[in-house]
Amino acid sequence: MTIERIAAPDHARQGAGFEALRIGPAIFGRAADPFLNVDHFRMRTPTFPPHPHAGFSAVTYLLPESPGNMLNRDGRGDRSVIRPGGVHWSAAGSGLVHEEVPEPVGSLAEGLQIFVRQPAAQEREPPVIHHVAPSDVPVVDLAPGSWVRVVAGAFGPLTAPFEPPSPLQILDIALAPGSAVDWTSPMRGAGVSLYLFSGALDIDGTELAAPNHVVFAPGTAAFRLAATIGDTRCVIFAGQALDQPSVNDGPFVLSTPEAITDAFARYRRGEMGTIAR
């Protein structure tokens, strides 16, 4: 096990109703491909108006301890309430307009917004949406007060109830003081990183306190996580690297500048859908 980088997330705020600890591309880097960005957000009021995405998945995982819900609406007419512990995975593909707001407005919603690059072959495919209720997220019980929630992919004998756009794994892990869990890569040569947002960990002899993000060297096959101080929470992101060109322009991450230009044109023509006020 080799750690490539440890970095504290950035603080982000927009208006009076949204704040986040942000793990951006500079922290993730190429070693964490296909993961692009994570916001650990706390949101009370509508902050981001309806907006499009293309070329990547916008994933909302509402933490089980979130006091409130999130409402997701998109240009296909979907209206889904994400409840604490639930997952809403929007693989935007060729493009999709969406909006997420606290439900009810004014309540506090806390969760992770995760951006994951899609394979270039899916850039012209229609959006694919997966909505997972909290009770359908698989849970592996460890020691008392310790568990693993399988947000995406598989862990041990349990698999999340949908197929992500490419092979990957997202695990929400809770460890009581003194407890530990062993992680092994679910795929050969995967990139892996870890976001620690509560407590402290010993990672095979490297001690780390929250909040911090760890990017491991590509090909890391296994490590042990042991809670050292207080109740500890972390999220593991692992995925098969796509190793493909990516051009980022605002709400779109696509493989060429020409694809970006085309996406903006299709959005202006209303081909990614609209959300009625």
Domains in the chain, number: 1
Mean pLDDT of the region 59-65:
98
Question: In the prediction, which pLDDT does 177 show?
Answer: 93
| Higher-confidence position of 20 and 15 | 20
Q: Which two tokens stand for residue 265?
A: 């044109």
Residue 123 belongs to some domain of the structure: yes
Residue 275 belongs to some domain of the structure: no
Asked if residues 41 and 19 have their Cβ atoms less than 8 Å apart, the reply is: yes
Q: Residue 262: CA atoms inside 13 Å, Cβ hemisphere, count?
A: 14
What residue numbers bound the domain in which 128 lies?
3-268
Question: In the prediction, which pLDDT does 219 show?
Answer: 85
Asked if residues 95 and 53 have their Cβ atoms less than 8 Å apart, the reply is: yes
Number of H helices, E strands in the chain: 2, 24
Residue 101 belongs to some domain of the structure: yes
Residue where the block lists tokens 């990957």? 168
DSSP-derived secondary structure letter, 210: S
Residue 11 belongs to some domain of the structure: yes
Mean pLDDT of the region 228-253:
94
pTM over 0.85: yes
Cis peptide before 211 (omega within 30 of 0): yes
Q: Which residues contact 172 (CB under 8 A, 6 or more apart)?
A: 61, 63, 64, 148, 149, 151, 233, 235
Residue 277 belongs to some domain of the structure: no
Cross-strand pairs, 184: 222
Query: Would you say residue 97 has pLDDT above 70?
Result: yes
Asked if residues 60 and 66 have their Cβ atoms less than 8 Å apart, the reply is: no
Residue 144 belongs to some domain of the structure: yes
Question: In the prediction, which pLDDT does 248 show?
Answer: 92
What's the mean per-residue pLDDT of the chain?
A: 94
Cross-strand pairs, 3: 216
| CA gap 33, 263 in Å, rounded | 23
Residue 276 belongs to some domain of the structure: no
Residue 94 belongs to some domain of the structure: yes
Mean pLDDT of the region 85-94:
97
The CATH number covering residue 205 comes to: 2.60.120.10
Question: In the prediction, which pLDDT does 277 show?
Answer: 61
Q: Residue 1: CA atoms inside 13 Å, Cβ hemisphere, count?
A: 17
DSSP-derived secondary structure letter, 151: E
Question: In the prediction, which pLDDT does 106 show?
Answer: 86
Question: In the prediction, which pLDDT does 227 show?
Answer: 96
pLDDT tens by residue, 127-180: 999 999 999 999 999 989 999 999 999 999 999 999 999 999 999 999 999 999
Query: Would you say residue 27 has pLDDT above 80?
Result: yes
